Chains A and B, each alone.
Chain A
Amino acid sequence: MYLSIIILPLLGSLVSGFLGRKVGITGSQIITCSSLVVTSVLISIAFYEVGICGSPVIIDLFSWLDIELLNISWCFYFDQLTVSLGIAVIYCSTLIHIYSVDYLSTDPHNQRFFSYLSAFTAGMLVLICGGNFFVMFVGWEAIGVVSYLLINFYFTRLQSNKAAILALTMNRCGDMLMSIGFFAIFSIFGSLNYSEVFSLVPYINENAITIISLLLLGGALAKSANIPLHSWLPGSMEAPTPVSALLHAATLVTAGIYLLIRVSPMLEFSSTSLLIITVIGSSTAFFAASCGLLQNDLKRIIAFSTISQLGYMMMAIGLSQYNVALMHTVNHAFFKALLFLGAGAVIHSFADQQDVRKMGGLIKFLPFTYSVMLAGSLSLLATPYLTGFYSKDLILELAFAQYSFSGMYAYVLGSVTAGITAFYSFRLISLVFLTTPNGPKVSYLNSHESKLAVIIPLLILAIFSIYFGYIFSDLFIGIGSDFFKNSIFIHPNNISLVEAEFSLNPFIKLLPAILSFTGAFSAIYMYHLQPIFMINITNYNLSRKIYAFLNGKYYFDVIYNQFFISAGLKLGYTISKEIDRGAIELLGPYGLSNYLYKTGINLAKLDTGVITTYSLYIVLSLLSLLVLIFAPILLFNNTQISENIFNFNYFNSLEEIRLFIIYIISALFVAFPSCEARANSWTAKTKQKANTLTKNIKSI
């Protein structure tokens, strides 16, 4: 049963992809969706067995690699961590498969789409179920590749191509760091299996652990779109909306978070890396939220919101509250998928318009979509007792309860971010649904609520994003809950849940909520009630600059393009042109052949046909021979007699320098041929030219 959780989506993908022509559009939809539905039933059973009953499953299939110490097998773990994340992954996948049936009904490439989508689910499951770093890496790369393919789904669009290449290469940066991490893990622990590595961690030098954790963090940063490897995520919004919902909001981007939660036994022994993770996480949360503040693309706003929420998760990991991070991951999967699918429904019904400035007033046309998006937004901004509240608010309280610099940093930035989150969420709601209609009339006339295949997933996700936190919070993050058992390790020194729950000042606890409501109301006020204020503000130069800065995503893309990509290309050009085709050619084949050729020409030039030159050569050769013959005698005389340097004989022999002088002068004659010879060669050339000229004239 457990293996079929992984295999069923894979089979669905293979059938839909390779037999797409045979099974047809409907066939592939039925096959992939039904296999996903079966999988979600199975994962529910697995959640009951593994999670609630507490009996982890390990399936060791067969050996993959067996060299010396390096013993890796195709091994799958199903522990509490896996099944909790698996629930979010598979439920979202299933719902999004069903949603896509309608959303892509007019697309000619349905089989391809469903094949990719199922392949992604399978890859994600391999990732979260892998029992060692290599099997996990298989899923890790698989989802990266499928992400490339899905971003490139509309392959004729240049923007999609660029975004897809960016996503793949940026993820590869993370993969490189992660691979280096694997090398380090193997050389230090002698194994790449989770169980062996994690049980050895306490006995290993902390610096080594820190380096490994940071390298793995590099991979996680790229996959989970945290600073500085985040810039692929906004671009990946070129993919169809269900893809954005599934990959770039609910599941793929949580792979990095999953990895860090999985290596919690390692992170717990390295306070440095925990500090760095907290700082990066909270900075990302704030940065992305402020970017999302002034975006105009409906999907990009939600994308930045995703990055921001990923920052929260990263923050929770840095505070070593892995269960809270996981809870937030699952919660976020539900409400962010809901927001994306809602946005997709809006875009689809509104003539594929994505610019929020050209919408407005849709509340009358799309009441259901409005309600679910409102539910999702409220959940996102942690309205008390909705799903997002249970994890997001707790993260901030835990941050404060650390009573440390990093905790304070996280708390302050996190609270401000909560306010900004509320602002952009309600900015979106008011611009799309509430304000006066700004779109063309035709779009409004054609706008309509979607079909049942869209409404059911939206409804289920809405229910999840309202009630899931209430139901599961005690299981996941309740005080004294031993749900996660050994799958997560929190060092006893780092437990601050009791502190956060019982000893904080109520003001501290309420501050994020207060900021959220302030943000939400100010958004509605500024964009819906008093829009004149926002229009007036554009008159100032400073505000326009701030707008450009935030809308331009802090100019991260500019920096990357300017410094890394173009520098890399320039370096490539230099190497290729100046080393390969330049220096090596000059010193190697081209230079050598050229030199030989030139020498040959020069030698040939000596052959002037003038008798005096030849006589010069004869004399020269004779002289050379003489020198060669007599040199030993001259030298011998010198060495024999010269006891004193002022010896007469010495000078006497030096007089023979005349010979050398003659030799050198005649050599000069050869090197610079005589005027006569030159004249001869010149007349020959002119004669040739004249001949060719006359020939040409004759031919004319």
Chain B
Amino acid sequence: MLTLLIIIPLIGSLIILPMAETESLQSKNQMKQIALTTSLINFFISLFLWYEFDSTTTQFQFVSEFNQLNFCHLNFGVDGISLYFLLLTTFVTPIALLSNYTNITTNLKFFLISFLVLETLQICAFVSLDLLLFYIFFESVLPILFIVILLFGHGTDRFRSALLFFLYTLAGSLPMLLSILVIYSYIGSTDFQLISLYDISLESQKLLWLGFFIAFAVKTPLYPFIIWLPKAHSDSPLAGSILLAGTILKLATYGYIRVLINILPDATNYFSPLIQTIAIISLIYASFSTIIQQDTKRLIAYSSVAHMAVVVLGLFSNNLPGIEGAILLGIAHGFVSPALFICVGGVIYDRTGTRVINYIRGLVTYMPVFTILFFLFTLCNTGIPLSLNFLGEQLSLIGIWQTNPIIASLGATGIILSACYSIFLYNRLSYGNLSPYLPPLKDINRREYFLLISLLIPTTIFGIFPNVILNTLHTSTTALLYYN
């Protein structure tokens, strides 16, 4: 079934590839529909996979091996943790495609193909059971997203943003490659299951850990490697932002769990004060710089940094509520952050042509339905109860409290600061007198409405019934705990 998931987007892009991109609306619609259908088929298959998933075992499931390819150990499998990242990917891709459904006119074919290929690559990264393959797929997302930002981005600054994004992530992951090579030379294999059986000495674990950590810290992003994210977000097209916030940042979250905690547990334990400190710095710094941002997309990008810092805190809390809370918050962030990007970068930007907060005021007068949805997502972003974000945040901090109460107290400042910047953004855009300099605005159309509502429903449903997710997480996450 995993093979299907990986191949279907490729098949979709192969179908689109020979189609001639003419000016006619019909051919464009056809291409879009093919891409969308492909990604939706993938989503339903992944739902079926979720249904078939056996939550009582820690083993990898749906394993498919390709031993015919002998340059590396190409095998795929899913456990409780990667399942949700996989689902998030298949869920976010159709949303990303739909979000730029109407406003991409040139190079449409390339746009659709690149997003379908991105889906395949991300799924591969989440399900590959080989460290080297994980690295390859982790990196392979870069060039495509780089070109997407270059081709479809906004503004003249996009060249620099794309370059920053590319170079930061590439440079960050070089130490990871070195670490992988070292592991390979130690153990003679890069298979996850095999490596996790080996006992690597603490001294070498420390070095390896740092190598991996830099790669993931750049991708998360943690201070001081954050500046590529706001730039990439503000200059990339909406679909790129959605994908970046929804899933590509989660590659790092997944990497922390799969590599750092799972393979290098002693070093993780040794370095956990360090990473907690960095996460707290990221959280507080990013929250404070979020408050004064003037660009709506930058603001949400910075708030992503703050939320991902809480995820990192939870992951390195070394207890079950913390780790599961971090995964929940990761998933929740994958719903809410894209939704906010659709709100400010899609709905508002399409209508007003600006992302500067000061130019927009009083949207509620013309766009009441949009404002309701925007408000709900803003609340979710602040971590209001009944949303998945609340559970994720609270559980992560409950977890980290058991490890270090002071860190947890500092982490809880995010509760105030997230309310400050989110509500400021919402209040500034939606309320007040309607700005006379705005063009006449239409309320959201059917496409945008369904986009937002389809992100809102899982956030609230999982916020009320998180056990649906947690039941499948328990066995896999229990294996991550470190007993010293």
Residue of A at shortest CB range from B365?
A156
How does the 8 Å CB contact mask read for B276-304 relative to A, with 1 for contact and 0 for none? 00000000010011111100000000000
B164 adjacent to A589 (CB under 8 Å):
yes
B432 adjacent to A67 (CB under 8 Å):
no
Residue of B at shortest CB range from A173?
B416
Q: Which of A141, A152, A572, A585 has the most CB of B within 10 A?
A: A572
Residue of B at shortest CB range from A215?
B409
B379 adjacent to A156 (CB under 8 Å):
no
Task: Tell whether A272 is near chain B: CB-to-CB under 8 Å.
Answer: no
Give chain A nearest CB distance to B228 CB in angstroms: 8
Task: Tell whether A176 is near chain B: CB-to-CB under 8 Å.
Answer: yes
Kindly list chain B residues whose C-beta atoms are within 8 Å of the C-beta of A182.
Answer: 394, 398
Identify A183's interface contact among B292, B408, B433, B465, CB under 8 A: B408
A187 adjacent to B402 (CB under 8 Å):
yes
Residue of A at shortest CB range from B414?
A176
Interface size on B, residues (CB 8 A): 56
B415 adjacent to A172 (CB under 8 Å):
yes
Identify B394's interface contact among A142, A173, A179, A589, CB under 8 A: A179
Residue of B at shortest CB range from A171?
B419
Task: Tell whether A674 is near chain B: CB-to-CB under 8 Å.
Answer: no
B401 adjacent to A186 (CB under 8 Å):
yes
Give chain A nearest CB distance to B330 CB in angstroms: 16
Give chain A nearest CB distance to B288 CB in angstroms: 4
B415 adjacent to A175 (CB under 8 Å):
yes
- Complex Cα gap A186–B317 (Å): 15
Residue of A at shortest CB range from B168?
A589
B405 adjacent to A137 (CB under 8 Å):
no
Kindly list chain A residues whose C-beta atoms are within 8 Å of the C-beta of B416.
Answer: 169, 172-173, 175-176
Kindly list chain B residues whose C-beta atoms are within 8 Å of the C-beta of A65.
Answer: 391, 395, 466-467, 470
A168 adjacent to B419 (CB under 8 Å):
yes
Query: With A66-B467, A66-B470, A67-B320 known to touch, is A138 a contact of B401 (CB < 8 Å)?
Result: no
Kindly list chain B residues whose C-beta atoms are within 8 Å of the C-beta of A145.
Answer: 379, 384
- Complex Cα gap A186–B419 (Å): 24
Identify B401's interface contact among A152, A161, A183, A573, CB under 8 A: A183
A168 adjacent to B423 (CB under 8 Å):
yes
B412 adjacent to A179 (CB under 8 Å):
yes
A155 adjacent to B364 (CB under 8 Å):
yes
How does the 8 Å CB contact mask read for A544-579 relative to B, with 1 for contact and 0 for none? 000000000000000000000000110111011001
B413 adjacent to A152 (CB under 8 Å):
no
Q: Which of B224, B365, B474 has the most CB of A within 10 A?
A: B224
How does the 8 Å CB contact mask read for B393-411 relative to A, with 1 for contact and 0 for none? 0110110011001001100
Give chain B nearest CB distance to A624 CB in angstroms: 31
Identify B432's interface contact among A134, A141, A155, A580, CB under 8 A: A155
Instruction: List residues of A (18-65) whose CB comes within 8 Å of B's CBs.
Output: 63-65
- Complex Cα gap A568–B432 (Å): 24
A569 adjacent to B291 (CB under 8 Å):
yes
Kindly list chain A residues whose C-beta atoms are within 8 Å of the C-beta of B430.
Answer: 155
Kindly list chain B residues whose C-beta atoms are within 8 Å of the C-beta of A576.
Answer: 288-289, 292-293
B397 adjacent to A137 (CB under 8 Å):
no
Residue of A at shortest CB range from B413?
A176
Task: Tell whether A158 is near chain B: CB-to-CB under 8 Å.
Answer: yes
Task: Tell whether A584 is near chain B: CB-to-CB under 8 Å.
Answer: yes
Task: Tell whether B362 is near chain A: CB-to-CB under 8 Å.
Answer: yes
Kindly list chain A residues whose C-beta atoms are within 8 Å of the C-beta of B408.
Answer: 180, 183
Q: Interface on chain B toward A: helix, strand, loop, or mixed SS? A: helix
Task: Tell whether A600 is near chain B: CB-to-CB under 8 Å.
Answer: no
Kindly list chain A residues whose C-beta atoms are within 8 Å of the C-beta of B291.
Answer: 568-569, 572
- Complex Cα gap A158–B466 (Å): 39
- Complex Cα gap A145–B381 (Å): 13
Task: Tell whether A70 is near chain B: CB-to-CB under 8 Å.
Answer: yes
Task: Tell whether A301 is near chain B: CB-to-CB under 8 Å.
Answer: no
Task: Tell whether A87 is near chain B: CB-to-CB under 8 Å.
Answer: no
- Complex Cα gap A161–B424 (Å): 10
Kindly list chain A residues whose C-beta atoms are within 8 Å of the C-beta of B319.
Answer: 68
Identify B386's interface contact among A138, A148, A176, CB under 8 A: A138
How does the 8 Å CB contact mask read for B323-341 relative to A, with 1 for contact and 0 for none? 0100000000000000000
- Complex Cα gap A138–B385 (Å): 5
Kindly list chain A residues whose C-beta atoms are within 8 Å of the C-beta of B224.
Answer: 584, 588
Task: Tell whether A366 is near chain B: CB-to-CB under 8 Å.
Answer: no
Kindly list chain B residues whose C-beta atoms are within 8 Å of the C-beta of A169.
Answer: 416, 419-420, 423
Task: Tell whether A184 is near chain B: CB-to-CB under 8 Å.
Answer: yes
Kindly list chain B residues whose C-beta atoms are within 8 Å of the C-beta of A70.
Answer: 321, 395, 398
A161 adjacent to B385 (CB under 8 Å):
no
Task: Tell whether B270 is near chain A: CB-to-CB under 8 Å.
Answer: no
A575 adjacent to B394 (CB under 8 Å):
no
Q: Which of B228, B320, B384 has the most CB of A within 10 A?
A: B384
- Complex Cα gap A187–B415 (Å): 20
Residue of B at shortest CB range from A158?
B432
Identify B464's interface contact among A64, A571, A585, CB under 8 A: A64
- Complex Cα gap A180–B405 (Å): 9
Task: Tell whether A101 is near chain B: CB-to-CB under 8 Å.
Answer: no
- Complex Cα gap A575–B285 (Å): 7
B470 adjacent to A67 (CB under 8 Å):
yes
Query: With A184-B405, A569-B291, A584-B227 known to touch, is A156 a contact of B420 (CB < 8 Å)?
Result: no
Instruction: List residues of A (587-629) whose CB comes within 8 Å of B's CBs.
Output: 588-589
Kindly list chain A residues whose C-beta atoms are within 8 Å of the C-beta of B167.
Answer: 589
Task: Tell whether B431 is near chain A: CB-to-CB under 8 Å.
Answer: yes
- Complex Cα gap A186–B420 (Å): 27
Task: Tell whether A165 is near chain B: CB-to-CB under 8 Å.
Answer: yes
Give chain A nearest CB distance to B246 CB in angstroms: 23
A572 adjacent to B288 (CB under 8 Å):
yes
Kindly list chain B residues whose C-beta atoms are within 8 Å of the C-beta of A580.
Answer: 226-227, 285, 289
Kindly list chain A residues whose C-beta atoms are within 8 Å of the C-beta of B321.
Answer: 67-68, 70, 186
Instruction: List residues of A (615-659) whose CB comes within 8 Å of B's CBs.
Output: none
B398 adjacent to A187 (CB under 8 Å):
yes
Task: Tell whether A220 is near chain B: CB-to-CB under 8 Å.
Answer: no
Instruction: List residues of B (190-239) whose CB comes within 8 Å of A's CBs.
Output: 224, 226-228
- Complex Cα gap A312–B423 (Å): 32
Identify B398's interface contact among A63, A165, A183, A584, CB under 8 A: A183
- Complex Cα gap A179–B398 (Å): 9
Task: Tell whether A462 is near chain B: CB-to-CB under 8 Å.
Answer: no
Q: Which of A64, A168, A183, A585 has the most CB of B within 10 A?
A: A183
- Complex Cα gap A380–B271 (Å): 60
- Complex Cα gap A68–B474 (Å): 9
B412 adjacent to A572 (CB under 8 Å):
no
Residue of B at shortest CB range from A17?
B372
- Complex Cα gap A585–B402 (Å): 36
Kindly list chain B residues whose C-beta atoms are within 8 Å of the C-beta of A589.
Answer: 164, 167-168, 227-228
Instruction: List residues of B (359-402) whose CB comes within 8 Å of A's CBs.
Output: 362, 364-365, 379, 382, 384-386, 391, 394-395, 397-398, 401-402
Task: Tell whether B64 is near chain A: CB-to-CB under 8 Å.
Answer: no
Task: Tell whether B427 is near chain A: CB-to-CB under 8 Å.
Answer: yes
How does the 8 Å CB contact mask read for A112-139 relative to B, with 1 for contact and 0 for none? 0000000000000000000000100110
Identify B433's interface contact among A141, A152, A156, A180, CB under 8 A: A156
Give chain A nearest CB distance to B44 CB in angstroms: 27
Identify B385's interface contact among A66, A141, A569, CB under 8 A: A141
Instruction: Supply 4 further A-B pairs (C-beta < 8 A) apart from A138-B385, A575-B289, A588-B224.
Output: A66-B471, A145-B379, A179-B415, A187-B405
* Residues of B in contact with A (beta carbons under 8 Å apart): 164, 167-168, 224, 226-228, 285, 288-293, 319-321, 324, 362, 364-365, 379, 382, 384-386, 391, 394-395, 397-398, 401-402, 405, 408-409, 412-413, 415-416, 419-420, 423-424, 427, 430-433, 464-467, 470-471, 474
A–B Cβ pairs within 8 angstroms, 25 of them:
A65-B466, A67-B321, A67-B474, A68-B321, A137-B385, A141-B384, A145-B384, A148-B423, A156-B362, A156-B365, A156-B432, A169-B416, A172-B382, A172-B420, A180-B401, A180-B408, A182-B398, A183-B405, A187-B405, A568-B288, A573-B292, A576-B293, A579-B285, A580-B226, A588-B227
Q: Which 9 A-B pairs have the closest CB atoms?
A: A576-B289, A183-B401, A572-B288, A172-B419, A138-B385, A155-B431, A572-B292, A176-B415, A572-B291
